[in-house]
């Protein structure tokens, strides 16, 4: 920068001082409440011994596509006998005292329980094998934390942990958009009540009916139902011959239309012409401050360093330049490009 331009920047100007303020954006982070690790037997329905029989174990119906490795696994765990109530107490006591063999026995004899519960959670985004693996983790956690002195049946306690592990996995891995675990439980309650109402009346339950039956607010029911909608892939085939995809009909907001491109080119020409009516220093300051040369906008301090003057001096030059642009003779040239 030559001395003459530097001297120009240091000239005194007679305009009112304006306060320079910095805006800060507050960011908020949502925290979702997960399941508590406190067992609550009131919400647990015991799985009957009939459901754990070999016949029921191997009968998956249409709930999942089963490959040979899973069939072999089901046959193997079906050979492990179920524990009697007395045996369960005996092994639970030994496991509580640190007996690893007893812990292993509790786990192996309840693997059927995991499968029985996992089968009820298929078609929710995870394969049956993945559900079983997650349920087994919950079972091991149950063995680790079970206290036989509290009087609960181990199978009841294990059921809670197995369901928790499976539900967490579905919430974390089974959905395109993650939904908190506690909300998954509420969604499942709404689905269950909807099925019951449909069976009773032959009609779909409205949000108002579900709210009344579940003791919830209508707005909450609607919000949860909306949340539970799965995203639709843009690759979904459409048309009678399915030769097109949904994405073909979605406007790309990032692509500039020919009209917008032409409009911007004309605006750039008009803007350059208007800026040329300012003094060279004023034009440069505005270009730096607002990133008009396809660069990022610069702060007063950054521009001040470029010209080797204070930020206050740059602010004064900017204010004067903007005031000139508001003059009717210049303003009229840009009014046609104003966006409402």
Q: What pLDDT, in 10s, does the model give residues 114-123?
A: 998 888 888 7
Please state the rounded mean pLDDT for residues 226-242: 61
What predicted TM-score, i.e. pTM, was given to this entire model? 0.44
pLDDT for position 136: 92
Supply the mean pLDDT for the chain: 74
pLDDT for position 54: 56
CA nearest neighbour of 58 among 77, 41, 43: 77
Range in 32-46, 115-129, 156-170, 285-299 with the lowest mean pLDDT: 32-46
Question: Could you tell me the domains of the chain?
Answer: 41-178 (1.20.120.1810), 179-228 (1.10.10), 270-340 (1.10.10.10)
Q: Are 237 and 245 in contact (CB under 8 A)?
A: yes
Upper half-sphere CA count for residue 282 (Cβ side, 13 Å): 19
Please state the rounded mean pLDDT for residues 196-207: 89
pLDDT for position 121: 83
Question: What string of DSSP letters covers 58-91?
Answer: H--TTS----HHHHHHHHHHHTSPPPPHHHHHHH
Please state the rounded mean pLDDT for residues 300-304: 92
Q: In angstroms, what CA-CA distances link 100 with 96, 155, 282?
A: 9, 18, 81
d(C-alpha 66, C-alpha 71), whole Å: 7
CA nearest neighbour of 182 among 8, 285, 36: 36
Residue 135, pLDDT > 70, answer yes
CA nearest neighbour of 89 among 128, 146, 50, 136: 146
Report residue 263 as tokens: 């409009």
């Amino acid at each position: 920068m030559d001395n003459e331009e530097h001297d120009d920047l240091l000239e005194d100007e007679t305009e009112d001082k304006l306060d320079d303020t910095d805006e800060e954006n507050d960011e908020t982070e949502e925290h979702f409440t997960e399941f508590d690790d406190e067992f609550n037997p009131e919400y647990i329905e015991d799985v009957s011994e009939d459901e754990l029989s070999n016949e029921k174990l191997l009968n998956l119906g249409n709930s999942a596509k089963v490959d040979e490795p899973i069939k072999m696994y089901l046959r193997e765990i079906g050979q492990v006998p179920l524990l009697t109530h007395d045996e369960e107490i005996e092994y639970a006591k030994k496991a509580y005292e640190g007996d690893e063999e007893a812990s292993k026995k509790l786990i192996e004899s309840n693997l059927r329980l995991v499968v029985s519960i996992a089968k009820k959670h298929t078609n929710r985004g995870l394969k049956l094998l993945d559900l079983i693996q997650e349920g087994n983790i919950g079972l091991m956690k149950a063995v680790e934390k079970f206290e036989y002195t509290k009087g609960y049946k181990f199978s009841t306690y294990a059921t809670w942990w197995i369901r928790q592990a499976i539900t967490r996995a579905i919430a974390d891995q089974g959905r395109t958009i993650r939904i908190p675990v506690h909300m998954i439980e509420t969604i499942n309650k709404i689905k269950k009540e909807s099925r019951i109402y449909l069976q009773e009346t032959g009609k779909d339950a409205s949000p108002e009916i579900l709210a009344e039956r579940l003791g919830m607010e209508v707005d909450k029911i609607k919000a949860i139902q909306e949340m539970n909608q799965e995203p639709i892939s843009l690759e979904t085939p459409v048309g009678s011959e399915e030769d097109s995809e949904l994405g073909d009909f979605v406007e790309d907001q990032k692509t500039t239309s020919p009209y917008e491109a032409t409009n911007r080119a004309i605006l750039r020409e008009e803007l350059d012409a208007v800026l040329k009516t300012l003094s060279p220093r004023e034009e440069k300051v505005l270009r730096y401050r607002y990133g008009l040369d396809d660069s990022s906008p610069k702060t007063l301090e950054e521009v001040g360093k470029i010209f080797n003057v204070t930020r206050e001096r740059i602010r004064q030059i900017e204010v004067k330049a903007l005031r000139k642009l508001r003059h009717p003779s210049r303003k009229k040239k840009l009014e046609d490009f104003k966006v409402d």
